[in-house]
Structure 1
């Protein structure tokens, strides 16, 4: 099932999948709480309130934050302490995060804090759920985080009637937003401000979106490659399963199998089976390069899904023999997601560089044996000449983004947090990288569709014809120059929302990931 086919997601009975997560964050599926979810939250809240009444020494509950952990806070100041962390930590800067990213972070907070190890109260989580289902989008500046804190604090301000948020496209102050949705500001109890700003919530949320989009782009890259292979008269002999059986990487064999299904019964492939003894690397190396990238993307999916079902808070409140204990540690660290996000950015760059090369070969008449730049009247018409420039520029952007953010660090909090994960930067980079690859694949698909028109009456495979028809539903055949920006945006949306993949899988069954 695709994410845009899910209408609601219930928290509490079973782990939330990446697809369900995206259904809420991107496609506005409603969030519901199960009875078990509410029961667990209430029990956890009762435990942390008892700890406060007993004046136990617990980080962030009866102590200050960061290097201020040595400062003891009186129980009577617990509520003020939690409001102070939210206000003082709302210091991220720059352009605001997109609505789907903010929705994703809120959903991740509901998932993580609802596991019963954080002590967050049911009223606080219910308010977040209400605002999420009402599509209230807090104004969250997106820069200046080494792993968490700043963006989450801007979101938490809204819960106490402060900050700003969008409602129905209108940017309003926090108190007015709450009034319009029929909600009231809350007063944070002990630990709630800390839990809402601390932990792996933002990094994991962005990492989930990145993993979803990267996986979808990886499968769509196989489809685009299959079309280009036919348009460039490539031989499918390089897809022989015997060739890939001796390379012990299942992803490589999977890509070759996908390409065989996409090119099956292709008159073009049959005609040009032995046109060349050996194709250029960007054609014959598709299974190897795509397969290597997919290994990294598949591993990232697994790790991100594990983190999605984890508790990333500190301290955690553990019920034990009717008494309970607060355990201080470093579950807030996002290194797992950070490293995998770096790997995703690298893998997406690999997919981009080979896709751009295939596009270049299609627009280059010396290689494609088609009219220059796929234009109907080269010289008078420029065709896809500059679209390839866009693909090249985006590919170079990705090459600059492929450096490992999780390897970088600057100490914070008076050296109490002496290394930092920098996973927030890594996750955002992977998420943005998937978006850039979507444009590169859109351009390749547009060029392949135009190449098929120019190759007529020769025909590609039936599956490829179906993809071409989808493309033509939004981008007509190029009979003269026009502004291609709208075409690229439209096909990129087809890629992003899985329409290209669904078109293929409706005829082939599920492709290999």
Structure 2
């Protein structure tokens, strides 16, 4: 079949959205002539530094706790190759294809900035593997921030191990041969440049942020529908009151909830019936709004990271004199913190969604039949589904503990503070996934309540639209099959459909 994907020419640094597109395999990636020129210039500078006697980290010295040990010119290529094997210590389940592609795209993006000193051969091999969807197998665990995941990618470039290709598992060396490349022979510093940096945390972070954004917009829609069927007091979204809180996210959510519930006869008939609703209903603008505000900062930091070098050392030409700066650019403190914030933000969405769910099923406060059964005599309805939501809220609470504060000491006290950016990004994705499931349960419950109470004709058009979309996926729950099947269906739908 012909390849119909458009080619994204990498000249300026990638955006988080472009990383997402590449991860979904909807576009191909290539380097612009300007990016190639930057790479070549940095490599020329590196070669000039190789000829000098100044100690340069990872070039003519060991790495980490061996940074004061000098390496002869004859040993530099050997050091590069050994770095790949010694750093490939990942364990656990492999990352999925989208995660792997995102990391590879961010690595290419980093080399294209023109400060690592690697030859064009390295990004060219990565591009060939990425565009042919021939993906290294990357264990998910074992990183305290960087190094480990990229080492497993680098092994593929030297022809070691196997790749997951569109036709199955194939030896890396054979795949490279098919793509027109011999296995890479890493030169001085290239082994370090291949494993160093924040490509892994940045790529995973872009995916987590995109997933959070989609989940947040679904949460707004679902919360509005729950508010509608529960007959909430719409003064909670009054623009005159909302304007008293200056946070833009809260004002945005208030406006969106007004639009989503507009035209509801059910709400209109219940205005003034209560002084105020429970917080899980009237505080949606405040809680969801805080996530909108947090997401804006998360996306801004990711964009900054994609514009920044995270290799060590950096190769810079100053007044026609190449210099190496061995700094802490691979310490992703900002990245780790925003990924912790992403986990907290997603967890807060799940927590309030579970509380809204409880108000629909709990006979102490619900206007509907207890637990929404199809048969109140024999059915438990959504009683135990709320247990599942409660369990996921608890798991999210545990996962929301900050990875960026884990610390740790490695490499013989040379690396004596660690920020765990990659684990932060991985757990943020787990929290988002859990929250999407909680929202799926809430959505199924509110549709069940609509059917039980015959509310459909009186609801807002947007609530009716959402109900119709769900019922196209799953029918009214008669308790004639495991409810887990419906939860899985709607969870997948929320993750693959734009709100």
Band of TM-score, shorter chain: over 0.9
Match of 1:219 in 2: 217
1:295-334 superposed matches below 5 A: 295-334=293-332
Q: Residues 9 and 378 (structure 1 numbering): CA distance in 2 closer, same or farther, change over 3 Å?
A: farther
* 1:162 counterpart (160, 163, 184): 160
How far off is 1:27 after superposition?
A: 4.0
Maintained 8 Å contact 1:208/1:305: no
Match of 1:409 in 2: 407
1:433-472 superposed matches below 5 A: 433-457=431-455, 458-472=457-471
Maintained 8 Å contact 2:39/2:114: yes
Match of 1:122 in 2: 120
Match of 2:242, SS state, is helix
Match of 2:489 in 1: 490
Maintained 8 Å contact 1:233/1:275: no
Confirm whether residue 267 of structure 1 aligns to residue 265 of structure 2.
yes
Deviations 1:175-231 (A, max 9, x none): 233345454311112211111111111111111111111122222211110011012
How far off is 1:487 after superposition?
A: 2.3
* TM-align CA RMSD: 1.9
Partners of 2:153 and 2:369 lie apart in 1 by 54
Partners of 1:315 and 1:213 lie apart in 2 by 33
TM-score when normalising by structure 1: 0.92
* 2:343 counterpart (342, 345, 366): 345
Deviations 1:264-310 (A, max 9, x none): 11122212222322111110111112222332222222112211221
Maintained 8 Å contact 2:46/2:322: no
Match of 2:383 in 1: 385
Match of 1:411, SS state, is coil
Partners of 1:105 and 1:340 lie apart in 2 by 18
Match of 2:248 in 1: 250
Match of 2:364, SS state, is helix
Partners of 1:155 and 1:35 lie apart in 2 by 25
Maintained 8 Å contact 1:359/1:444: yes
1:124-273 superposed matches below 5 A: 124-168=122-166, 170-273=168-271
How far off is 1:164 after superposition?
A: 2.7
Deviates more, 1:458-467 or 1:430-439: 458-467
Match of 1:506 in 2: none
Partners of 2:377 and 2:453 lie apart in 1 by 20
Partners of 2:78 and 2:286 lie apart in 1 by 58
Deviations 1:86-127 (A, max 9, x none): 011111212212221111111110011110000121111011
Deviations 1:362-406 (A, max 9, x none): 122432221222222123233222222221111110011111111
How far off is 1:8 after superposition?
A: 4.0
Partners of 1:404 and 1:395 lie apart in 2 by 16
How far off is 1:6 after superposition?
A: 8.5
How far off is 1:358 after superposition?
A: 0.6
Deviates more, 1:87-96 or 1:482-491: 482-491
Maintained 8 Å contact 2:13/2:113: no
Match of 1:282 in 2: 280
TM-score when normalising by structure 2: 0.95
Match of 1:171, SS state, is strand
Partners of 2:447 and 2:15 lie apart in 1 by 35
Q: Residues 182 and 269 (structure 1 numbering): CA distance in 2 closer, same or farther, change over 3 Å?
A: farther
Q: What are the ranges of 5 or more consecutive residues in structure 1 without an aligned counterpart?
A: 502-513
Match of 2:477 in 1: 478
Maintained 8 Å contact 1:383/1:481: no
Partners of 2:194 and 2:16 lie apart in 1 by 22
Deviations 1:50-72 (A, max 9, x none): 22133543211111111211111
How far off is 1:169 after superposition?
A: 6.2
Match of 1:317, SS state, is strand
Deviations 1:455-482 (A, max 9, x none): 3254321122222222122112224432
Q: Residues 262 and 21 (structure 1 numbering): CA distance in 2 closer, same or farther, change over 3 Å?
A: same
Partners of 1:452 and 1:112 lie apart in 2 by 51
Partners of 1:163 and 1:285 lie apart in 2 by 53
Deviations 1:231-270 (A, max 9, x none): 2111211111111111222211111111111111112221
Partners of 2:458 and 2:13 lie apart in 1 by 46
How far off is 1:131 after superposition?
A: 0.5
Confirm whether residue 398 of structure 1 aligns to residue 393 of structure 2.
no
Q: Residues 89 and 294 (structure 1 numbering): CA distance in 2 closer, same or farther, change over 3 Å?
A: same
| Aligned residue pairs, count | 495
Maintained 8 Å contact 1:92/1:150: yes
Q: What are the ranges of 5 or more consecutive residues in structure 2 without an aligned counterpart?
A: none
Deviations 1:110-154 (A, max 9, x none): 011110000121111011011011112211111111111111111
Maintained 8 Å contact 2:5/2:28: no
Partners of 2:472 and 2:377 lie apart in 1 by 27
